[in-house]
Amino acid sequence: MPLFSITQMNALYTILLLILSNIFMTLAWYGHLKLQQTGLTSSWPLIGIIVFSWGIAFLEYCCQVPANRIGFAGNGGPFSLIQLKVIQECISLTVFVAIANILFQHQSLQWNHVLAFLFIIAAVYLVFMK
């Protein structure tokens, strides 16, 4: 007898792919700012930065699209469309906070940021209520 059901494995794969997707997304959206701070890309034209970010965003989509296909109840996954979106937003915020604290150490969390994050966690709870 398997340790996890197919539904549980699909839920796990979905969440892991969403985490990976959001790492790439955050790096695509904000990583170029850190590269500019270090001077690595300060002389690049804006179109160069956009193409660079698109390259990273391609990797995001390579994870995001399968995550949604595997996780969506319409494809046999465990999550409704709304549940997928709320999970993605919660993961996105978590990944952003972690990466921002690593890359931009002078950015600190304030009480209102923590409260906003708690509201997002509450949204995850509410969306899974029957």
Q: How far apart are the first and last CA of the chain?
A: 29
83: its two tokens: 């549940």
What Å distances lie between residue 112 and 10, 71, 82, 100, 119, CA to CA? 34, 32, 25, 17, 10
**Residues in a beta bridge with 72:** 79
- pLDDT digit string, tens, across residues 77-114: 999 999 999 899 889 988 988 898 888 877 777 899 88
Angle between helices 81-103 and 111-127 (to 10 degrees): 160
- pLDDT digit string, tens, across residues 42-61: 999 999 999 999 999 999 99
- Supply the pTM of this predicted model: 0.85
* Spatial separation of the C-alpha atoms in residues 106 and 98, rounded to whole Å: 13
